[in-house]
Amino acid sequence: MTFRILIFVLVGAFIYPLTRCEKYPEDKGSAFQLFQHWKREHNKVYRNHVIESGKFKVFQENLKLINDLNVKFQGKTTFGLNHLADMSPREFSSTVLMPKRRAPVFEKERYVRSSLSGALPDSFDWTNQSKVTAVKDQGAAGSCWAFSAIGNIEGQWAMMGKPLTNFSVEQIVDCDGMEDVPKGEADCGVFGGWPFLAYQYVMKAGGLETWEDYWYCSGLGGAPGTCEVCPAPGYNTTLCGPPIPYCNMSQSCVTKLDVNKFHPGLKVASWKAIDQNETSIAEQLIKLGPLSVALNAELLQFYHHGIFDPPTFVCDPKNLDHAVLLVGYGSEKSIFGTKDYWKIKNSWGPKWGEKGYFRILRGQGKCGINTAVTSAVLAPN
């Protein structure tokens, strides 16, 4: 006899399953009661009934989407409700993800040469070695690239034997106007960017403040502590498009940045890229520390658990729209066989996915996860 544990939530006179393996109600009455519970759980408050009515309609459509995804993935990857459930896939793509782009190709000398001299361990994880800070939430802003770059720099700092430190993501979002015109790329604040350009900004700026001194506010969407995002100095309107039309200069980089608060000793000297061979990536992950990576994340909005393994036609590896942090790898045996995976730190909060992390199939370049792997190189001190 087989038993399985289910977690239920009592809503009014009904019991609704909220586990990854159950089907969500799609009829309006049941969905509305679930929506009320979901609002309380995620502290959702809307300005008026018109907005709330629209959000409920999106929520109801997302219930069907989640159910459909769970059927299509057959339990190999599971999907469920989370704090993003009142965002349509289109809104999610336009506000949380970045505009889709191809991975840049770097100069040959930029790539790390493989130095593999023996077999790699079967699994590896930096999260249990004090090299990875807590999961953060970027909110409703395309600032993932800054979280990815800072996550890499935090890991590099810890790899030097320094205390694990939360560095400022907001400094990158506010102040980084770096561009690579020949490649047609630029850092565009809440509209997206590239970690390799963020490293170059830190090199040019001379350092970073800590999260506590220059805290994150650009993706909070009107919540306490939010800020009206100003374009960074050097913001390229040709490559980035027009900036947000409102700006509070008292909250701009020019006003907020204090070089006297730069963390002592932290300086980026250079940066490097890792080629697309996933064995090389695993080798450099162990050797260098957590690595910045990018992927097509269009289907990850409601990811809950498991090894993400979508068919290529729904997750084009040439359409990158999200930057994250590679922290480990391993293999998992299940009724579906043994699958190798990458362990990834996301920036959508600790309630998303597997406590803020997700796993994606390793070895097949899924969703482009192997196409834009980079790391900062810190100056010794």
Mean pLDDT of 95-111: 96
% of the chain beyond a pLDDT of 70: 93
Tens-digit pLDDT profile for residues 236-292: 999 999 998 888 888 899 999 999 999 999 999 999 999 999 999 999 999 999 999
pLDDT at 335: 87
pLDDT at 225: 64
Euclidean distance between CA atoms 15 and 229, whole angstroms: 43
Higher pLDDT, 6 or 305: 305
Mean pLDDT of 55-82: 97
Dihedral over Cα of 164, 166, 171, 177: its sign: positive
pLDDT at 3: 32
Mean pLDDT of 23-41: 97
Which region among 78-82, 199-203, 224-228, 356-360 has the lowest average model confidence (pLDDT)? 224-228
Mean pLDDT of 67-76: 96
- Paired tokens of 366: 């899924």
Q: Which residues of 60-84 are buried (b: 16+ CB within 10 A; e: fewer)?
A: bebbebbbebbeebeebbbbbbbbb
Euclidean distance between CA atoms 179 and 104, whole angstroms: 13
CB 62 within 8 A of CB 85: yes
pLDDT at 336: 83
Task: Kindly give the pairing relationship between strand 77-79 and strand 14-17.
Answer: unpaired
pLDDT at 228: 81
Going by C-alpha positions, the residue among 159, 175, 136, 171 that lies closest to residue 357 is: 136
pLDDT at 221: 67
pLDDT at 227: 83
Dihedral over Cα of 281, 368, 136, 142: its sign: positive
* Farthest CA pair distance, the chain: 66
Euclidean distance between CA atoms 258 and 210, whole angstroms: 11
Cα angle 135, 136, 137 (rounded to 5 degrees) comes to 130
Cα angle 135, 179, 260 (rounded to 5 degrees) comes to 60
CB 346 within 8 A of CB 78: no
pLDDT at 338: 95
Catalytic residues, by residue number, are 144, 322, 346
**What is the pLDDT confidence band of residue 374, given thresholds at 50, 70 and 90?**
very high
Going by C-alpha positions, the residue among 211, 226, 371 that lies closest to residue 296 is: 371
Domains of the chain: 8-73 (no CATH), 95-378 (3.90.70.10)
CB 282 within 8 A of CB 112: no
% of the chain beyond a pLDDT of 90: 86
If you average pLDDT over every residue of the chain, what do you get? 92
Given a cut of 70, whether residue 224 has pLDDT beyond it is no
Mean pLDDT of 208-231: 85
pLDDT at 20: 47
Given a cut of 60, whether residue 308 has pLDDT beyond it is yes
- Paired tokens of 253: 């980089």
Given a cut of 90, whether residue 180 has pLDDT beyond it is yes
pLDDT at 12: 37
Euclidean distance between CA atoms 357 and 324, whole angstroms: 10
pLDDT at 15: 36
Alpha-carbon Rg for the chain, nearest whole angstrom, is: 21
pLDDT at 1: 33
